Structures are given as structure tokens and as C-alpha cells.
Amino acid sequence: MARIFASKLRGMSVLTDKGLRVGQIYDMMVDESNGKITAMTVKPESKETAASLPTDESGNILVPFAAVQAIRDYIVVSERNLAVQQLKKQR
């Protein structure tokens, strides 16, 4: 697996595997015990997108890093994984 610096990820566009524009990377959450990225905070593309996904107190979308499928010119995340996270939020 290729190494990608976190500084290169900031500001990258996030799209779902179905083509929905989620937004742009704002920040990342890291597990202090092992140094792995656990989630990304994404500035939402629209209010509708933010309303349909889990958000933090600032209104940024929380995308679990496990949902990431590819990183190239933009970040592709699994829409199915995001739906599962939304269901967990509703409980």
C-alpha cells in the first residue's frame, strides 16, 4: 500500500462510490494508542448532505475511515458503510 501524508488529504474532495459529492476533508481523528486514522471530518457540500449523515457539534460530517475505498485525486467512500453509520446514529 502506498503511503499518503495527512497534509495531502486536507481539502481533498470526498465522493461516494455512487457519485454523491459529500464535501471536503477538514480534519482527521486519530487513535492515540496505535496512530491509526479512525474518522475524517468533512465540510459538507450541502445542507441536505449534512442532514443525511452523522455530524459533529460544528456541523461537519463524520466519515469512518473504514468507509474509505480509494484515495487518488479525490477520496471515494462506501455509501453502504455511511448508511450503516447513519443507522447506528439513530439508535
Q: From first to last of its 91 residues, what are the pLDDT tens digits of the chain?
A: 567 777 788 889 999 999 999 999 999 999 999 988 899 999 999 988 888 888 899 999 999 999 999 998 999 999 888 877 766 666 6
d(CA 87, CA 71): 25
Q: What does the pLDDT look like over 27-46, one tens digit per residue?
A: 999 999 998 889 999 999 99
Query: Which of 13, 28, 80 has its CA nearest to residue 53?
Result: 80
Fold observed for domain 6-90: SH3 type barrels. (2.30.30)
Global pTM? 0.83
d(CA 33, CA 35): 6
Query: Which of 22, 11, 29, 18 has its CA nearest to residue 61?
Result: 22
Question: Do the Cβ atoms of 49 and 20 come closer than 8 Å?
Answer: yes
Query: Looking at this protein, which amino acid is placed at residue 41?
Result: T
Beta bridge partners of 61: 42, 55
